[in-house]
Each structure stands twice: as structure tokens, then as C-alpha cells.
Amino acid sequence: MMGLATQWVALRVRRYWLGRNPLRRRSDRLEAAGVAATLILLLFSVWPAVVMGRLAYENGLQAERAGPGIRQQVTATLVQDAPDTVPVGGNDNDTAPESHAAARWVTPSGEQKMGRVAVPTGAKAGTSVKVWIDGRGELTRSPASHAETLAGAVTTTLLVIAGAATTLMLGFRGFTWLLDRGRYAAWDASWAKACGRWRRLS
């Protein structure tokens, strides 16, 4: 496998190398220049990809933050029973392990709040559950883990690079398609000229 990969790379280098081969046409040199431009632009795309990944990382750090006035966990008390069963996918035999029920909690400032929280199916009124609230005392998502932050930053970086690579490859394919049309037209003209000579000599 490594030998095939090396051979493939060697063939591509030989094909696009700007040497002094007299058989090289103008279109061949333009194609080689297109390869070089594509590679250079792909390298330049790494910088904005890193910037976007950095922004995603910083946003992830914000999502990790927890503490008074930002995001914190409090104890809520159910004020109603949760449903005993919650059908999944329209099948009464398949039930979800969680449902939602109304609950009440007290914010750090002493204000009472109410909302629907996720609880185990069949939980009874009076059951205590832990919920996350934001700085205003409203329900919010739990903090993201640092692993999720890193994964999001890496994914963003790779997606930007992949998007740039896809765009550049499509552009290069379009460029080579135009060059091939010119080559085919030149070949047709050469064959027509050669055929005319052969007719005159016959």
C-alpha cells in the first residue's frame, strides 16, 4: 500500500513539475500552475480554520462556566406526579426512562421559580431533583465538559479546512475541464490539418 501511494505521488509530481520538456504545452503549464495555486490557497486556509477553532474553543469555555450569577445547581421539588409511562415512537410498549413534570425551586436570592423539569418516569410529587439555573434563576443546560469544548474546537477547525479543500478542488476540477476542452479542440484541429495533408499527398 505504501509503495502504491509513493508511486502515485511520484507520478503526480512528474506530471505537474515545471521542467523544460519540449513536449509540454501551454495548457500543461497552466494546469501545473493551477495545482500550485490550489496548494498555496489550501495552506492559507489553515489560518482562518485555526481562528474559527479558537473562537469555538473560547465559546466552549464560556459554556463551561458555572458559579453564582452565571450557572449553578439547585434543588427543585416536584409539585405534581410525573407520568407513569411515556410512549416512544408511537409504540405503547416502548417507554422513555424520563418524562417532565412541574417543579418549584428557590433561587440564591430567595425568589421562588417554577418550571417543567426532566425527572424519572413515575416520579411522585415532593420528589427532590437537581436542576441547573442561570443568573436569572431560570432553567438552563448543564455546563459543558472541557472534553466537549476541545472536541468542538477541533471539529470546527477540521470542518473549515475540509470546506476550503472541497471548494478549491471543485474550482481546480472546473479549471482542468476548461483546459481539457481547449486540448480537445487543439487535437481536433491538428487531426483535421493532418488529414488535409494526407489527402493532398494521396
Phi, psi dihedrals of residue 20, rounded to the nearest 5°: -105, 25
Beta strands across the sheet bearing 71-78: 112-120, 98-106, 71-78, 128-134
Q: Which of the listed ranges 37-41, 68-72, 160-164, 169-173 does the model predict with the highest average pLDDT?
A: 160-164
Give the type of residue at 13: V
Looking at residue 5, its pLDDT comes to 43
> Residue 168 and residue 41: Cα distance in Å, rounded?
8
What is residue 113's DSSP assignment? E
Torsion (CA) 133, 138, 140, 145 in degrees, nearest 10: -30
For residue 197, with 0-12 CB atoms within 10 Å meaning exposed, 13-18 middle and 19 or more buried, which class applies? Answer: exposed
Other CB atoms within a 10 A radius of the CB of residue 60 amount to 19
Helix (H, G, I), strand (E, B) or coil at 141: coil
Looking at residue 27, its pLDDT comes to 67
Task: Answer yes or no: is pLDDT of 167 > 80.
Answer: yes
User: Is the entire prediction scored with pTM above 0.75?
Assistant: no
Of 15-19, 25-29, 98-102, 134-138, where does mean pLDDT reach its minimum? Answer: 15-19
pLDDT tens per residue, range 54-77: 999 999 998 888 877 788 999 999
Task: Answer yes or no: is pLDDT of 141 > 60.
Answer: yes
> Residue 116 and residue 104: Cα distance in Å, rounded?
9
Average pLDDT, the chain: 80
